[in-house]
Chain A
Amino acid sequence: MRAVVKNGIGIFTPQGFLDGNSANSLLTLEDVEATTKINAEMVLVSLKKVVFFNRNGLDAFVKLFTKVRNKQHITVGFCDYDYKKFTAINKFYKNDLNFSLFKSQEIAALFSASYKNKNKNVLLFSQDKSQSAAMAIELHDNGHNPVIAQTQEEFKEKSKNRESYDVIIEDTYLGQMGQSVATRVTGNAIIYTVSSFLDAEIGNTFNISYHNNSLNVGFRLFIFDAYKVVSMNVHALNFFSKLASSGAEYNATICFVGMTFEKIPVSFKETLEDSGIMFFEQMDDILQNKELLKDLGGGSASSVANKRVINKEIVTELPNFIEATVNTIEMMTNSQAIKNAAKVDQITISGKLEDKIASSIGFYGDIDGMVILVFPFDIAKKASELLIGEATEDTELVLDTLAELVNIVGGKIKSLLFEAEISVNITLPRTYDNVNSLLDVVGDKKGVQVDLSFDNDKFLFFLTR
């Protein structure tokens, strides 16, 4: 079974009846590992389409969860259940509940560091006070505003005021949370979230190959969200120093945000600063300061000293990139996509820039680079209809769907290149709600531009490094 991965959460959705036999057939360790490889920091089994389950059925998943969590340091558990199912699970695992339970995927997303929507007003209640506190801390750390109801009555009363809260949490349980270093992309910066005690384990939980490949595809600013870090030992210190040194040849900047030095020797800070690492109190000190962002390399790729150019290896594989894009658009629109013109130059976007949106995905491995698709908004809506199911004017929804679309393109590229014996992995997709921010990133880069159309609607493909 394959998972759908969104907001850093891989969700498996089995259907029907779950017992010991069926559960073992539904999900294998390979299925879960394939999901974690695409940067899922949580793996959940949705119970919304399960009409019956027994202890044996859940046990099969729980055994898998334990293996995966021990190996990959991610959060595991179940989601999408009603009160009856929640009660049954609690009864089955009364004294042994070491996985998480999220009443809905929306609630699970609040606990994912990769969830891009922050600042949600959240009402929460749990009979277990330590759970209420744990949830509130996690929510706060993830940038939300939790309000704890102390009693059932208070919760009922406050719940009536539905419009005051973006999300209401009940029937939820935080088991052992994942300790892997969560990753999210903001603008041209990559944000890693680290927490608690940083020791030698950081070498296992930090995805170094993802980091190296992000450097390869042009990311230059890496921010460690360290609000939740309590302390650090010399092994972690060495790790970060080496990371900074290895990034120096790319002109990359590494920053720590929110780290306090109450329990960390000040000499550690000096060592890290000597390695080129910078420290900030608040995330907004960087993200809201355009000048600083630009200086640090997170505002525009134009600040990158080592400009990389499109090379022969990539151009040779151009037909595969075009085929992946054309096939995906044809699949999503049921129309024939036509290649109109191609050129090797800087990207040229004709017509009104403000009417256009874009998405991109990086690939790395035997070859590396970035595919960018630029659509007029109306065409993006059309291309997103298969996934959304209806026409929409919601820009955010269209952008999210466009990210899924470019993710599918990336997946197709990966499989077409694999057939050509070229092994690549793909990064998280990025979207641009206006093409000016895209031009900031790739405006001065040379690449292959192909003008495409379907049903006479034009869109643009750009391949660069």
Chain B
Amino acid sequence: MITNEKINSFIEKIPPASKVLQVTLALLDSGELVKAAQIAKEDLALSSYLKSLVNKPIYGFKNQVDDVSQIFGILGVAKSQQAVYNYMMSLLSPKKWSLFALNQSSFHDLQDTLAINWQKILAHLQITDKEIQSAITLLPASIIVAEALFHEKKEDVALLRSASEIDLNTILLRLCQRDLFDICEMIAKKWEMHAHIGAIVQAASGSKPAEDANIDTLGKWMHLLLFFTLSQPKFIQAQLNDFIDFHIEYVDAIYEDFAQLMEIQ
């Protein structure tokens, strides 16, 4: 159904980050917001993405913000970097979704919802590391990879899942000995994202706890955040609620904290 050749071909087709994106990220990394904005403006699609992003109600700005320098200034280094990574990820998303009932707008909504709540979590955990802030951007890659690999096998997947309680991640692992999150990590490497990002997202799969206790804790928060988000009606309707397994026991230790932070009653 899915072979390693197919996975390799998918990875090969992922374009490397463009020069503009690489320089923008490097400048953001060194805190050069103004210079980063000057470079980012050269990529019109990136500029447009950033404008539409910060003017969404979820970001809560009263006035329209149109200038990239202004946007980076408002967001700060970590969130700007996160926004650029989210843009890169959205480039990878398909024009037309078929396995999941998503579109460009709902995928961006998913990215934004995850990003905003991840900021909330990191503030609660008093973590300011900008690489860790950006880690959340890689998580939706698992959905993109699942769509890319399984969309032609939609009916087969449905039949298989009507006979057995098996998620897409497990199907892929059993068929190819690599799962969706291994592929996410390969994307992170290809885009030269910080090694921590791949490690946190691997832990966030819920099936591969990290040896590093800090990364493992972040993995737990991210795993729970993912399912908190995928429990929203719009994402349930997009068939995202059960594309991977929720490991309830993995998040047990942090659940009370999470529930309090997200004001779940």
A residues at B contact (CB < 8 Å): 1-5, 11, 13-18, 21-22, 24-26, 48-52, 54, 327-328, 330-331, 334, 385-387, 389, 404-405, 407-408, 411-412, 415
B231 and A331 within 8 A (CB): no
Asked, given contacts A16-B228, A49-B245, whether A389 binds B170 with beta carbons under 8 Å apart, the answer is yes
The CA-CA distance from A327 to B3 in the complex, in Å, is 14
Known: A22-B236, A26-B236. A387 touches B164 (CB 8 A): yes
Do A411 and B159 have beta carbons less than 8 Å apart?
yes
B113 to chain A, nearest CB (A): 14
Say yes or no: A22 contacts B165, CB within 8 Å: no
Using CB atoms, name the residue of chain B closest to A389: B174
**Nearest CB on B from A84, distance (A):** 12
A26-B156 CB under 8 A given contacts A4-B162, A334-B3: no
Q: Which partner residue on chain B sits nearest A327 by CB separation?
A: B156
Given known A-B contacts A16-B230, A51-B246, A411-B162, A386 and B251 have beta carbons under 8 A apart: no
Contacts of B163 in A (CB 8 A): 4, 387, 404-405, 407-408
A17 touching B228 in the complex, CB below 8 Å, given contacts A22-B236, A48-B248:
yes
Q: Given A51-B248, A331-B153, A334-B175, are A15 and B164 also a contact pair (CB < 8 Å)?
A: no
A1 touches B160 (CB 8 A): no
Interface residues on B, range: 35 or more
25 contacts between A and B (CB under 8 A): A1-B242, A2-B158, A2-B161, A2-B162, A4-B163, A13-B165, A13-B242, A15-B241, A15-B242, A15-B245, A16-B231, A17-B231, A21-B232, A22-B236, A48-B248, A50-B248, A51-B246, A330-B1, A331-B160, A334-B176, A386-B175, A387-B164, A387-B166, A411-B162, A412-B155
In the complex, A153→B91 CA distance in Å?
63
Kindly state the separation between the CA atoms of A408 and B259 in the bound complex, as whole angstroms.
Answer: 40
Given contacts A331-B153, A385-B174, contact A16 B165 (CB under 8 A): no
Known: A15-B231, A22-B233. A52 touches B1 (CB 8 A): no
Docked CA distance A3–B162 (Å): 6
Q: Which of B2, B162, B251 has the most CB of A within 10 A?
A: B162
Is A49 a contact of B164 with CB atoms below 8 Å? no
Closest to A22 in B: B231
Chain B: CB-nearest residue to A387: B164
Instruction: Taking A2-B162, A48-B248, A334-B175 as given, write out 5 further A-B residue pairs in contact, using a Cβ cutoff of 8 Å, ordered by the A residue number.
Output: A5-B162, A13-B165, A51-B248, A386-B171, A386-B175
Do A331 and B156 touch across chains, with their CB atoms under 8 A apart?
yes
B236 touching A25, Cβ below 8 Å: yes
Known contacts A15-B231, A387-B166; is A25 also within 8 Å of B171 by CB?
Answer: no
Smallest Cβ distance from A81 to chain B, in angstroms?
A: 11
Nearest A residue to B238, CB-CB = A25
B236 touches A51 (CB 8 A): no
Contact across chains for A404 and B232 when beta carbons are under 8 A apart: no
Total A-B residue contacts, Cβ distance less than 8 Å: 99
Which residues between 141 and 166 of chain B lie within 8 Å of chain A, taking CB atoms?
153, 155-156, 158-166
A1 touches B164 (CB 8 A): no
Complex-state Cα separation, A331 to B175, whole angstroms: 9
Q: Given A3-B162, A15-B227, A16-B231: A331 and B242 within 8 A (CB)?
A: no
B224 beta carbon closer than 8 Å to chain A: yes
- With beta carbons under 8 angstroms apart, the residue of B3, B162, B227, B233 that contacts A51 is B227
Considering only residues 67-108 of chain B, those with a C-beta below 8 Å from chain A are none
Which of chain B's residues have a CB closer than 8 A to the CB of A15? 227, 230-231, 241-242, 245-246
Partner of B241, one of A16, A54, A408: A16
Could you tell me the distance between the alpha carbons of A1 and B233 in the complex, rounded to whole angstroms? 12
CA A387 – CA B166 in complex, angstroms? 8
CB interface residues, B 208-238, toward A, < 8 Å: 224, 227-228, 230-233, 236-237
CB 8 Å contact bits of B234-265 with A (1 = contact, 0 = none): 00110001100110100100010001000011
Chain A residues lying within 8 Å of B158, measured Cβ to Cβ, are 2
Q: Name the residue of chain A whose CB is nearest to the CB of B241.
A: A15
In the bound complex, residues from chain A placing their C-beta under 8 Å from that of B159 are 328, 408, 411-412
Complex: A54 Cα to B264 Cα, angstroms: 10
Looking at the assembled complex, report how far the CB atom of A390 sits from the nearest CB atom of chain B, in whole angstroms: 9
- What distance in Å separates the Cβ of B201 from its nearest Cβ neighbour in chain A? 18
A127-B245 Cα distance, complex, nearest whole Å: 35
Contacts of A48 in B (CB 8 A): 248
In the bound complex, how far is the Cα of B78 from the Cα of A408, in angstroms?
48
Residues of chain B within 8 A of A3, CB atoms compared: 162
- A404 to B236, Cβ gap below 8 A? no
Q: Which chain A positions have C-beta within 8 A of B156?
A: 327-328, 331
Q: How far is the CA of A49 from the CA of B206 in the complex (A)?
A: 12
Q: Which of A2, A13, A52, A389 contacts B264 (CB 8 A)?
A: A52
Nearest A residue to B3 via CB reads A334
The 10 closest A-B pairs by CB, nearest first: A16-B231, A16-B227, A17-B231, A15-B246, A25-B233, A404-B163, A25-B236, A331-B1, A49-B246, A411-B159
**A408 touching B165 by the CB < 8 A rule?**
no
Q: How many angstroms between the C-alpha atoms of A51 and B3 in the bound complex?
A: 34
* B255: A residues at CB distance < 8 A: 51
> Considering only CB atoms, which chain B residue lies closest to A51 in the complex?
B248
Rounded to whole Å, the gap between the CB of A223 and the closest CB of chain B is 27
Inside 8 A of B241's CB, which chain A residues have their CB? 1, 14-16, 26
Chain A proximity of B229: nearest CB distance (Å): 9
**In whole angstroms, how far apart are the Cα atoms of A323 and B163 in the complex?**
19
Bound complex: CA of A451 vs CA of B3, how far in Å?
A: 25
- Bound complex: CA of A62 vs CA of B124, how far in Å? 37
Closest A residue to B232 using CB positions: A22
Chain B residues near A50: list those with CB within 8 A: 248
Q: A22 — which chain B residues lie within 8 A by C-beta?
A: 231-233, 236
Question: Chain A contacts of B227 at CB under 8 A?
Answer: 15-17, 51
Give chain B residues whose Cβ lies under 8 Å from the Cβ of A4: 161-165
Which A residues lie within 8 Å of B2 (CB)?
A: 334
Residues of A within 8 A of B160 (CB): 331, 386-387, 408
Query: Chain B residues with Cβ under 8 A from A11's Cβ?
Result: 165
Q: State A3–B158 Cα separation when bound (angstroms).
A: 10
- In the complex, what distance in Å separates the CA atom of A80 from the CA atom of B47? 49
Set A13, A51, A328: member contacting B224, Cβ < 8 A: A51
Q: CA A42 – CA B138 in complex, angstroms?
A: 40
What chain A residues lie within 8 Å of B153 (beta carbons)?
A: 331
Whole-angstrom CA separation of A4 from B264 in the bound complex: 30
Give the one of A11, A51, A389, A412 with max B CB within 10 A: A51
The complex places the Cα of A24 from the Cα of B236 at a distance, in Å, of 10
